Structure 1
Amino acid sequence: MFYDQAKIYVKGGDGGAGAVAFRREKYVPEGGPSGGDGGRGGNIIFVGDEGLRTLVDFRYKRHYKGDRGDHGQAKNMSGRSGEDFILRIPVGTVVLNDDTGELMADIIEHGQRVVVAAGGRGGRGNARFMSNTNKAPTLAENGEPGEEHWLRLELKLLADVGLVGFPNVGKSTLISKVSAAKPKIADYHFTTLVPNLGVVELEDGQSFVMADIPGLIEGAHSGAGLGHEFLRHTERTRLILHVLDISGSEERDPLEDFKTIQEELRLYSSELAKRPFLIVANKMDIPGAEDYLQRLKEAVGGEHEIFAVSAATGVGLQPLIYRIAQLLPDTPVPETLNLPAEHLVTKAQSDKRFEIMKEEGVFVVSGKEIEKHVKMTFFESEAGVYRLQNILKAMGIDDALRAEGIKEGDKVEIAGISFDWV
């Protein structure tokens, strides 16, 4: 089964906690602190794999978590870092943050590696907190939590040539004749529901990849039918073939079909409408095709190349294939994908290090920096709590809470942990 979309949850591994330990050896008086640091958490890494053609693996497993780093140990021994979690995904996959729509990665090469959820750093052991004023610190840190996201994966096929056209114009028959692809072919609309890829090989050793895009309908640019799902696969093609039923067997005007498809491409993406293309007048073996072909040539023949073919009988396919092979070397690979407006994200940069909101009598303090400090605080240690209090003062959170009217005994919540204000 072909799956070109998936939604998954990824979380980098948490860092290991630092250790509180002291050197205790015979004949070594006042050995000092020897607690080692925790290990780094494992990353979640995507790697492009040209051997994969679908996102079906992510349909059955949607949650992925990185390996946690080991805790630090005595004798200044650091914990083992967590192993990275490698996920192989098809080349041509776009990775988006599902919450914000932000583009996080565009996998366009085999072997391309992208860290999509970084593991947290390990907490520092008490040996790192020794100073001239504190020779025997009992302070250590918990590990930093790993990054976590809900991701949306969208596969956009990487093909040199894309076949577009209305349903039942003969795209599947064409690709089956010129390549080894074996798509489903029948005489009814929407036989093809998923894109098919085929490699076209010429006698001189040249080859190129052709994609049979499922049939479009009017309004596809706005999502009508399966418009967005189908049009997405045309974004990376270098050359487009407009396949027309030149016989009018579907009781449609081939010239109007051509104009409609051109308009759908333009409305979906202005860049896509500028892509080089050839017109393929198919079904020339059916009576009446010559008349429609003459009208088409009179209307657009001076601007665009038209190839009269019969995919069913194979007539006219060889000149078409050789013309494609001639054009491709001089046709550039499309640059980075042209994202629809829904994927364009503008981030507002705030100068505030933290924010305070009062919810049901509780003062909720939020901010990436202070939340990380709270999560890494070892609350079982009096020294750890004292250090957090100093951080709150240094960041100005104490003064800000007083300005908000906090009183003795009021509740303060940071990163899901509740405190009593004293």
Structure 2
Amino acid sequence: MTEGNFVDYIKIHTQSGKGGKGSSHLRREKYIPKGGPDGGDGGRGGHVIVKGNKEMWTLFHLKFKRHLRATHGGDGGKQESTGADGQDVYVEVPLGTVIRDTNTNKIIKEITEDKEEFIVARGGKGGRGNVHFKTSTNQTPRYAQPGIEGEENDITLELKILADVGLVGFPNAGKSTLLSVITAAKPKIADYEFTTLKPNLGIVKYRDFKSFVVADIPGIIEGAAEGRGLGHRFLRHIERNSTLLFLIPADADDIVKEYQILEDELRRYNPELLDKDRIIAISKSDMLDAELKEEINNSIKGDFQGMKYIFISSVAQTGLQQLKDILWENLNKQV
């Protein structure tokens, strides 16, 4: 999938079908001149339904669909025949899609399971035919119910990536390079900030044919929690990752301070993100000799007390197997 095909935010106007009207038909057959009412009910209007699809990774297929309309229910007929139901409209979305009311920004539903369905616009009920209104004092009612109008809703679909591990770091920290080395993913890589503008997913192959999913997400900048830079569009993608891998380059001016800034951005956006397991990888460590690495190790040991951290180099491919071991152990420690 190319970067331009990744769409994670869509606004759609949905309109369900109107219910069909009931029939006020009176039975008229040879030798039965006064057969009484036999009008059938109207059919239900079509629903607009959002459905989860585990094979999908993007909302790109909805990029040019701004309006979704279901068909109306058919009218009732004679001999108590019920009108046909309107045709439902299905909107397939990737797992991890959040449905919001566009006007209130309230979350309506989160789709997290394959083939899970949720009706976002319910079709109107069909009207009842005159056969339902026959009484002892009114043997030939000549009226029936009209169908109920359908619903119109404005919804927003937001995709939150479902991955086991989310890469967190400043722009140009080496996240895309790491993903390209430990997975088969081929993200765009260049030596400037914000190379990654869309999230990338990669499957890490582990021992004994096991695997887990890593998401390389656009880098954080200070103020991301307030929406600066890529802001909330980035931060919502790490809400579903069970483990956060903080990537800090070895040539950073202050490794501990850089981590604290990243941590603070997550706290301000959603404090619950800090309840997730966190692992720190100091990237680009091929730039360090043994003496400098030991010096950095001694300086950060107290600040990262209790947290797992590891020196890695994606270019020299050092520390990567140990990193995989740490991630796998962390993801499966409660299994």
1:292 Cα deviation (Å)?
6.5
Distance 1:235 1:302 in 2: 25
Task: Decide whether aligned partners of structure 1 residues 137 and 319 sit closer, same or farther in structure 2, where only a CA change above 3 A counts.
Answer: same
Task: Decide whether aligned partners of structure 1 residues 94 and 331 sit closer, same or farther in structure 2, where only a CA change above 3 A counts.
Answer: farther
Deviations 1:84-143 (A, max 9, x none): 211111110000111122221100111111111111110111111111121111111211
**Aligned 8 A contact 1:19 1:74 in 2:** yes
Q: Which of 237, 254, 279 does residue 233 from structure 1 map onto? A: 237
Deviations 1:320-378 (A, max 9, x none): 1011111112369xxxxxxxxxxxxxxxxxxxxxxxxxxxxxxxxxxxxxxxxxxxxxx
How many residues are paired up?
A: 329
Among the aligned pairs, what percent are the same residue? 43
**Secondary structure at 1:299 match in 2:** coil
Distance 2:325 2:294 in 1: 26
Q: Between Structure 1 and Structure 2, whose CA radius of gyration is higher?
A: 1
**Secondary structure at 2:332 match in 1:** helix
Distance 2:161 2:270 in 1: 17
Hey, what does 1:184 align to over in structure 2? Answer: 188
1:287 Cα deviation (Å)?
4.0
Task: Decide whether aligned partners of structure 1 residues 291 and 271 sit closer, same or farther in structure 2, where only a CA change above 3 A counts.
Answer: same
Hey, what does 1:380 align to over in structure 2? Answer: none
In structure 2, give the amino acid aligned to 1:119.
G
**Secondary structure at 2:272 match in 1:** helix
Q: Which of 40, 43, 58 does residue 36 from structure 1 map onto? A: 40
Hey, what does 1:393 align to over in structure 2? Answer: none
1:50 correspondence with 2:54: yes
1:89 correspondence with 2:90: no
Counterparts of residues 273-292 of structure 1 (less than 5 Å): 273-287=274-288, 290=293
Hey, what does 1:417 align to over in structure 2? Answer: none
Distance 2:296 2:324 in 1: 20
Hey, what does 2:151 align to over in structure 1? Answer: 147
Counterparts of residues 349-388 of structure 1 (less than 5 Å): none
**Secondary structure at 2:260 match in 1:** helix
**Aligned 8 A contact 1:11 1:148 in 2:** yes
**Aligned 8 A contact 1:240 1:276 in 2:** yes
Hey, what does 2:217 align to over in structure 1? Answer: 213
Hey, what does 2:104 align to over in structure 1? Answer: 100
Task: Decide whether aligned partners of structure 1 residues 259 and 303 sit closer, same or farther in structure 2, where only a CA change above 3 A counts.
Answer: same
**Aligned 8 A contact 1:239 1:331 in 2:** no
Hey, what does 1:339 align to over in structure 2? Answer: none
Task: Decide whether aligned partners of structure 1 residues 11 and 269 sit closer, same or farther in structure 2, where only a CA change above 3 A counts.
Answer: same
Where do 5+ consecutive residues of structure 2 fail to align?
none
TM-score normalised by L of structure 2: 0.95
**Secondary structure at 1:307 match in 2:** strand
Greater RCO (Cα-Cα under 8 Å, separation 6 or more): 2
1:52 Cα deviation (Å)?
1.2
In structure 1, give the amino acid aligned to 2:172.
N
Counterparts of residues 7-406 of structure 1 (less than 5 Å): 7-248=11-252, 252-287=253-288, 290=293, 293-294=296-297, 296-330=299-333
**Aligned 8 A contact 1:246 1:292 in 2:** no
Distance 2:244 2:295 in 1: 21
**Aligned 8 A contact 1:254 1:292 in 2:** no
**Aligned 8 A contact 1:41 1:83 in 2:** yes
Task: Decide whether aligned partners of structure 1 residues 17 and 297 sit closer, same or farther in structure 2, where only a CA change above 3 A counts.
Answer: same
Deviations 1:52-81 (A, max 9, x none): 111112220111111211101111111111
Q: CA RMSD in A?
A: 1.5
**Aligned 8 A contact 1:238 1:331 in 2:** no
Task: Decide whether aligned partners of structure 1 residues 328 and 123 sit closer, same or farther in structure 2, where only a CA change above 3 A counts.
Answer: same
1:303 Cα deviation (Å)?
2.0
In structure 1, give the amino acid aligned to 2:248.
L
Where do 5+ consecutive residues of structure 1 fail to align?
333-422
**Aligned 8 A contact 2:256 2:300 in 1:** no
Deviations 1:278-313 (A, max 9, x none): 100111111476266325533324221111000111
Distance 2:295 2:176 in 1: 22
Hey, what does 1:362 align to over in structure 2? Answer: none
**Secondary structure at 2:100 match in 1:** strand
